[in-house]
Structure 1
Amino acid sequence: MTDHSVNMINRKSIDLSGVNNVVNFDDEEIILDTMMGCLEIGGEELHITMLNLDNGKVSIHGNISHLAYKAQGADFKARGKTILNRLFK
């Protein structure tokens, strides 16, 4: 697998490498498991336009407002449950 890299253009498009898995996604938040820890990408109208986990590459388009890395082992799954809870209310 390649090194982890992030290439963002005008906060509208982001290309990433070194991605192991997509933990959770919706149109306001995408959480990725990367070689450097979990990465939370927040914004509006987010869409995964290319996903190739065999090569560790992901492309995302939308209105990107923030990127945040969480420590290795951070529990994003608990946050994902709150998203599911909102869907079933």
Structure 2
Amino acid sequence: MNMNRHEEFGGNTNKGPVQEHDVIMRGRRLLDITGVKQVESFDNEEFLLETVMGFLAIRGQNLQMKNLDVDKGVVSIKGRIFDLVYLDDHQEKAKGFFSKLFK
């Protein structure tokens, strides 16, 4: 059977390249995230990223985008990180969650 590990666990079954998704945090001050499809919204207190594994919400203080490479799907964020939460895959639900949470 010629199946890669990602396909075994219900991942991307098309024949295109599978993009990895990793989140690396260094000391609650720096985040390196791979597998980012799009930056939906951001300000100094929250980021909403669409990743290959769903929407990722990042909350914190004095957040800044340090690096963005759209072609490689890499985002680096610096600031004081409070939390990271994966949301539903549907964009509207993710935006609705944030609008209720931060009113």
The structural deviation recorded for 1:2 is: 3.0
Report runs of 4+ in structure 1 exceeding 6 Å deviation. none
Higher strand share goes to which structure? 1
Q: 2:68 aligns with which of 39, 51, 56?
A: 51
Report the CA distance between 1:53 and its aligned residue: 1.1
Aligned partner of 1:66 among 83, 89, 99: 83
Opposite residue 34 of structure 2, the aligned amino acid is S
Instruction: Name the Cα RMSD after superposition.
Output: 1.9
User: Which of these residues, 5, 21, 29, is aligned with residue 4 of structure 1?
Assistant: 21
* Equivalent residue runs for 1:77-88 within 5 Å: 77-78=95-96, 79=98
Name the counterpart of 2:40.
23
Residue pair 2:88, 2:94 contacting (<8 A) in 1 also: no
Q: What TM-score results when the alignment is normalised by the length of structure 1?
A: 0.84
Percent of aligned pairs with the same amino acid:
38
Q: Secondary structure at the match of 1:76?
A: helix
Post-superposition offset of 1:71: 1.6
Q: Unpaired segments of 5 or more residues in structure 2? A: 1-17
Which ranges of structure 1 fall in alignment gaps of 5 or more residues?
none
Where relative contact order (Cα < 8 A, 6+ residues apart) is larger, the structure is 1
In structure 2, the residue matched to 1:36 is 53
